[in-house]
A and B are shown apart, each in its own frame.
Chain A
């Protein structure tokens, strides 16, 4: 209850200040819209289905891109964690690549794939693959060895060992990395979408700019935040809670 009260107070003050600043008309309304203007834009966007379409297109892309990242990242991470040669060579490369913002892959993606969906997917994958790989590598190392031994002892090997033992055993240790990977994937997607007419949320955001429609720009920003936050809150928080319950951990890292 107290938490809800704090929540309400904080956002009331925030919106109050925003309204006040907008109503004072220090800046022209087309540069600094009121909350109502933004709400109207949001409503209109959903009404004419343009936001729905944008959300659907963006979600589809991020799911495909992130999905590929997770599968590839797990294989890579596991490989790096279990092979000394790979660890010494590729491990370092992966860490150094992490300092490269994912959008730096955009020119390369454009030349390789052309101006299309695949280029966007490529950027999304490059944005999240590293986090997932490093998380998996780390998780595989942190995971108590006894699980792997017990699994082999009970007759699991090869893919079965990975699928039924190593993967579930390492989940508590990789969930934060998966979460980080998701955040990177989402950001990379929006960035890439802003650079090219692509139907997604990023493009709708740029359209607001082109039309000088500040309330539409802010409306889309709110949408991007809301979706990112919701996925984090529903999918990943749910996953963490599930793991905590099963493993009996005070907090899954």
Chain B
């Protein structure tokens, strides 16, 4: 699987239809996308920014049976890449981010950053939660400062950087506000500023815009794209919204329903900036959606069979 990823092209926009040629049903699931052929020149990027090799995660449910949540996930993320992960709910995509963040331990397999295995949480990988996770007892500025304070950055430098990152997310005026005084979109922007302030190499985003209204989300897509351009960080973005994934990602990885496996990967070489309503985006999304739908159906079936049995995602609940 990993060879597939490495062969993915980093080339410049071709006419978008060429990126998403219609693929025969037989090719689904097993081989990578149709653009496999263009990929000979990516060999020099030998060490991926983030490498997942054979990641498995299983846990014991309340009834005592072992449940496999993630099944041999292999994934490589290039430096500076914007990778989107989509999948039905319950596929373990959030859990995967928690693992990369070091907040949880996989059952087996390795997580490498710059070729080195990670040891617990580190400020080189910052996770942005769906529910922002900002600290309500601190001001906006103190929230942004927090990671630097933990690192022991001197106060003057902290304040300067705090202001810089607040400007970057257009919230400079709100430095002294408290979190509850901000709207949902503003909170998510504070969360982004707080994450960026620790100067991470990798930004892990766990459905960060899922709870926002459509207009706010559009705005934040633009802002996130701009910030990604300005900082050059690597982003792994989890979402259940395929259009959002195509809108933002250089590549979209589709996970299967429980246990989570990499079902397929799709490079997105559409020109930026993109918009959610772009027909190219819609077309590309549709192809991914067709495959996603199979998984969603499986997840719905499983849910009906399980009845009211509570579903626990270890990454979120533990």
Contact = CB atoms under 8 A, between A and B. Distances in A.
A129 to B, nearest CB: 25
Interface stretch (B61-69, B145-153, B243-251): B145-153
Contacts of A147: 133, 135
Interface string B128-146: 0101011111100000001
B198 interface: yes
B150 A160 contact: yes
A164 interface: yes
A150 interface: yes
A150 B129 contact: yes
A153 B126 contact: yes
A245 B147 CA distance: 24
The SS class assigned to the A binding surface is helix
Given A154-B147, A155-B122, A169 B178 contact: no
A156 interface: yes
Interface in A136-170: 145-147, 149-150, 152-157, 160, 164-165, 168-169
Pick from A145, A153, A157, A171 the residue with the most CB of B within 10 Å. A153
B194 interface: yes
B85 interface: no
B180 interface: yes
B48 interface: no
A156 B180 contact: no
Interface in A223-253: 243, 245-248
B181 interface: yes
B129 A146 contact: yes
B121 A152 contact: yes
B136 A154 contact: no
Interface in A54-82: none
A157 B121 CA distance: 10
Nearest to A243: B137
Contacts of B317: 145
Pick from B98, B134, B147, B179 the residue with the most CB of A within 10 Å. B147
Pick from A146, A154, A245 the residue with the most CB of B within 10 Å. A154
Contacts of A150: 127, 129, 133-135
Nearest to B191: A150
A152 B103 contact: yes
A153 B150 CA distance: 11
Given A246-B178, A247-B180, A155 B151 contact: yes
B101 interface: yes
Contacts of A157: 121
B256 interface: no
Contact of B137 (A145, A152, A169): A169
Contacts of A164: 146, 149-150
B187 to A, nearest CB: 11
B234 interface: no
A87 to B, nearest CB: 16
B123 interface: yes
Interface string B105-135: 0000000000000001111001101010111
Given A147-B133, A149-B129, A154 B180 contact: no
Nearest to A152: B121
A146 B123 contact: no
30 contacts: A147-B135, A149-B129, A149-B133, A150-B134, A150-B135, A152-B121, A153-B103, A154-B123, A154-B126, A154-B147, A154-B150, A154-B194, A155-B147, A155-B151, A155-B198, A164-B149, A164-B150, A165-B135, A168-B135, A168-B138, A169-B137, A243-B137, A246-B178, A246-B180, A247-B136, A247-B137, A247-B178, A248-B136, A248-B178, A248-B179
Given A154-B150, A171-B137, A248-B180, 15 more contacts: A149-B103, A150-B129, A152-B120, A154-B126, A154-B194, A155-B147, A155-B150, A155-B151, A155-B198, A156-B146, A169-B137, A247-B136, A247-B137, A248-B178, A248-B181
Interface of A: 145-147, 149-150, 152-157, 160, 164-165, 168-169, 171, 243, 245-248
Interface of B: 98, 101, 103, 120-123, 126-127, 129, 131, 133-138, 146-147, 149-151, 178-181, 194, 198, 317-318
The 10 A-B residue pairs with the shortest CB-CB distance, nearest first, are A248-B180, A150-B133, A154-B147, A155-B150, A146-B133, A168-B137, A155-B123, A247-B136, A152-B121, A156-B150
